[in-house]
Structure 1
Amino acid sequence: MPLNYSKWDNLELSDDSDIEEHPNVDKKSMIRWRQRDIHEKREQQRLHILKLNNELALNGVLRPRITSVLDGVKSKGVSHYRAVQRRIKEQPSPDKPATGAPNQPTYDMMLGQLLGDVWREAAWLVDGDAKVEKGEVVVSKTGKKVDEKSGEPAWSNEMTMPDSKTEVMAQALAERLAWHVKGLDNRDAEVRDEIKKEEDARKKKITSGDIHDGFDSWAVNKSGPNPLDKPKPKPKSKEKETVQEIEVLNPGGSSSKATQVPAKAEEDELPLEAMTPALRKFINIPLGAFEESYKFIQNDSSVLTESAHNAVLLEAFEAERRGDKALARRCIHQSLIINYCRELGRDGVGLFFQRMISHNPKSLKMFADDFSRTYGHVERRSVELAKEAAADDGEREQIQLVAEDPNVKIGFNLPDGPPPEHLQIEGEAAEHLDMDKVREFLQRKWELFDGFPEQLKTALRTEKLDEVNKVLGNMRLAEAEEVVEQLQEGDMLSFSESGVRDMT
């Protein structure tokens, strides 16, 4: 059979022995310059791709926020737009891109700047003293682009806008916001095309940095802990152990050992680990989306720790106990990915995902069998624990809302939404109230209610005490206590005395 050497056509080595040097420059210097030129160009290409990916990530955060403002303007008008601007100014979120750059603007700062520009442009368009040029890109006034130096029309700075301009102003704001959303979509398409071209160009040449030895085991000095570094082995217990074999993707490496799992690994033996925000996002990745999981791990390897694995397993038990089987299955799926990656080590993570993404039949079957076996164990144990809890005759400690006085009835005072833009309070004591503090309290009340689990919010909206207590009874003790404290903080509990009181 003839040998195919075409795979070496794209090989690019910086120390080519046939390099043609300048007659006045020695060959070693030419080789070093050639090496440096290759590495500098590769590094520039890598940084350019990273910059483009960061731009996609930033647009992915800003687009839904702009779309939310657009939908609010369409349904509620100018008042919603102004409310968002006040919220950004008075209660800005600290969230920002993880670039590590000094003075990195937050997402709210960028959104606030955009909303200010859009308001200014829309106001001048409504005023009739400006027009749109260059395919809706530029709004110009007297031949100059509208910016902060242009200011705003006098009527747009007033607290109350003329009724004659409210509707047309909302329409202008919606049109400008829709143009920005469309611009983001077009820009994302351009960036993805550019990334593809850069990556294709990068793959055309094989450099020494692309060559890896996948069969030798190397020992290096570690500068710090890594999520895949395994703890020191603990003394073996006398309890019987079952051995679960994992397909070895990197034979000869130090990670080619079988995973030993205790035969009676119960959820109550797992340490209580907290679910981090990163893990919450990780367990929401759909089943079988190995490519998405791989990209997530590449960006955040903190999910590969042992504590993360334990937390995800514990969450699977809790989800199954609540009847949320979809979440339980996702947790089991992602916990197996963490387990495989930890067992295979650093070098094996890429090979594991390569097998899964390429739909290797043997690897997929092994993973599917492991998933079925693990989820079956969680499902069985959840049923057993439910039976044990039922046998306790309700002796498990619970939080319930019960009035000390049997004549007192507990009701609920729930918010309908955030406080309106124009807040009015009537009554004798209204003139003595601080409207800013009232608005702050109402906003806090809405945030507390909006942060409750959906099941609890549904029960609260029924305004039936039994329904609320049923949900509280299914919560953990600490979680239920926190909910009751928040209900009291938001003044969402009301107490009324039934019957007729004798005042004589």
Structure 2
Amino acid sequence: MNAALLKRVDQLIAASDHENISNDIPKAVSLACKGFTDLRPTPAGPDGEIDDGQTGPAYTDMIESLLVQISQQVEGSSDKESKTVAELKKHREQLKTALNNETKEYNELLEERSRHIVSDDIHTGFDSTLINKAAKEQHVANSEGKGKAKENQTSIEVINTPGSQVNPSSTGSSSGTSGDPDIDAAASPKALEFASLPSDNLPRLYAFLDENPQIIKESEKDALMMVAFEQQLSGDPKEMAKMKNTVHNALLLQYCSTLGGPQGTRLFFSRISKKDHPALEAFNKDVDFTYNHIKQRCEIISQQKDDETEQEEGVEQIQLHAVDPNTEIVVTVPEEDSEGRAVYEQLSDPLRKAIETKKLDEINKVLGEMTVADAEKAVEALNLSGVLSVEEKIYDVNEWQAEKERILKEEAYDEMEKEVFGTGSPSQPTTTSATDRGSAEDTQPFGDTNDEVD
């Protein structure tokens, strides 16, 4: 922005050689901006894209505000024209100094950035990761290396900050408004009071700023934008209804801060007080854009929180299985007029339908869709109703023959070990028959529940 203003001031100073610029401010503004196609600063978005909306104060407004201030300074002077040019040259030097400082700082930041590993330097090889990523928010990956510290960097999204661009390598605070309401920005009591004033009462808003010029700064605007985020995220209809009013008044602080000084504030309010004035149209467009942007970001944030909650609730599950491989859980529907029938009737419809299939897998499917607390209550009810019971597995002829052969092989192996190592050696493992294991398991409670992680 400073570079663009400097070009216009240089052009105006050059035009003063053959034109009078002190008596006709509109003509001087026209001379300064003649031949330039960019009407106002065009900030880049967080991803580097250009905002075609071109919101914010126009360069013509900035030049006019500067000339109004100079005109008041040289008012009554006998040599008004030469002093006007002299003041313009002073402002030109100030702009050049500011531009040089910005360029120097930018180069230093680039040099500092080159010393660290950032996300642009990291290229994934063969692994892949699924990330639940917020819209328009970039999180810089941690750099890893032996003997080297890890460093985190975050790129902050900016909402409608005319004439300023966020350096992607900067990890400090930004003059813009973040797309995520986690920035530590606290509004002053006076700024909060200003935000609550009706947005359609411009005289009252101007009077408040005239009495409290200390709140006309970017930091207060940023803080009020955070308030707008909180109002929208609260879910309270009353608070959400205040959000657009807060955005409107926050942008008033931004525009007045950009124009600078009491004269700039007075000039801006005089423009937006006129119906159908281009300045009013541009300002309202900016308000609507920012309002809709905050609404969309809050919807995304709320959806992400809901998704995270669902994922957390779905991590643990209650599932039923038999502890002993030689036993199985048998599902039985309680008979009419039985003691367990009353408890059975109180179970949910999906769970009763699963029980009627007499398949444990169907019951586990229903339990898997419940929260852990609800599933534990359901298992307790299943035990009380007598739906579940543990029984030894009944093998058919082929299965029993295979089991018998396995037992004989184990016994033959035991006899061989006794011959080699001796009977009763403490180093030898003992074997338990399938029948012994089954009888031992009969003392265990059925329907063992365990927490499984998806």
Which range, TM-score by smaller chain?
0.3 to 0.5
Indicate the structure whose relative CO is greater, using CA pairs within 8 Å and at least 6 residues apart: 2
Normalising by structure 2, we get a TM-score of 0.32
Higher alpha-carbon Rg: 2
